[in-house]
Amino acid sequence: MERPSWAPQGIDLSVPSVSRVYDYYLGGSHNFEVDREAARKAMQIMPGLPKIMQANRAFMRRAVRHAVEQGVTQFLDIGSGIPTFGNVHEVARAACPEARVVYVDHDPVAVAHSRAVLEGVDHAAISAADLREPEKILAGPEVNRLLDLDRPVALLLVAVLHFIVDEENPREAVAALRDALAPGSLLVLTHASTEGGPHSPEQRGGVEQLYDNMGSPLRMRSRAEVERFFDGFELAEPGVVPMPDWRPDAPTNEEDPSVFIGFAGVGHKP
């Protein structure tokens, strides 16, 4: 396989990557046939996956603009994947040219691709760290160089917590990050779920098995479980809701019920 210029050396192009599969769902170009094949298998089980991912990205853009409107111009995006078109630094900088963004991912594939994508981009960087180890994130050189933790920060946990099983203590990790943030900071969160959705337990199990096979176990949670991640934050209206329902830019005309199965919310730290 010919290696494109954006694909870093040392990355095994024969193994699918969750980050590149996500890029494919969004219509991006940072993916390979092995990623597209994994995505197509998932879509055979749950055809609405691309629309779900697009709803997730659209929520993220609205939440970033909300943060800037609240005067928050520092962003810590954990589990960021590959920051290609329409990602946090582009949306934030369009609203505030001085915005600063630190992306964090533990996947070497995502980190390597991110470094290539962000080369030459001011006030944005990628840190190789894991949400399961929040103290290492906070001590990272990129965080200390670009972010002032004495001022409000928007903490983005977008489509990442469902990759951390309960035994790995995701709530404790979120709480540790919350406690390190200044008052006025925000938590921006989305989470996969099949609660209230059109998908069967068999579809859910099939998608979870595919992600297990990629080395990224997927743990869907209920709305009540997702709401618990906001402990210590004051939820912004309209609370934890399906992603298209969080402050849509226009009336929602989406008829595909699958886009309403993931949950999203924004919390303010008092």
Residue 59's alpha-carbon distances to 36, 63, 89, 266, in angstroms, are 24, 6, 15, 10
Segment 260-268 shows an average pLDDT of 92
**What's the token pair of residue 186?**
């925000």
Q: For the segment 98-122, what is each residue's pLDDT rounded down to a tens digit?
A: 999 999 999 888 898 888 889 999 9
For residue 133, is it within any domain? yes
Mean pLDDT of the chain: 89
Whole-number pLDDT of residue 196: 63
User: Quick one: CA dihedral 151, 58, 170, 102, positive or negative?
Assistant: negative
Q: Give yes or no for residue 255 having a pLDDT over 80.
A: no
For residue 141, is it within any domain? yes
Which pTM was predicted?
Answer: 0.89
The enclosing domain of 124 has a CATH number of: 3.40.50.150
Closest CA relative to residue 216, chosen from 171, 148, 164, 253? 164
Helix (H) or strand (E) holding 158: strand 154-158
Q: Give yes or no for residue 185 having a pLDDT over 60.
A: yes
Segment 55-70 shows an average pLDDT of 96
For residue 53, is it within any domain? yes
For residue 11, is it within any domain? no
Whole-number pLDDT of residue 109: 80
Distance CA 174, CA 134 (A): 8
Q: For the segment 14-33, what is each residue's pLDDT rounded down to a tens digit?
A: 888 888 888 898 888 888 89
Q: Give yes or no for residue 264 having a pLDDT over 90.
A: yes
**What's the token pair of residue 236?**
């912004």
For residue 10, is it within any domain? no
For residue 29, is it within any domain? no
Segment 48-69 shows an average pLDDT of 93
Q: For the segment 193-237, what is each residue's pLDDT rounded down to a tens digit?
A: 877 665 667 777 777 777 777 777 788 899 999 999 999 999 999
For residue 9, is it within any domain? no
How many domains does the structure of the chain reveal?
Answer: 1
Q: Determine the number of helices (DSSP H) and then strands (DSSP E) in the chain.
A: 10, 8
The residue range of the domain holding 193 is 49-198+221-268
For residue 156, is it within any domain? yes
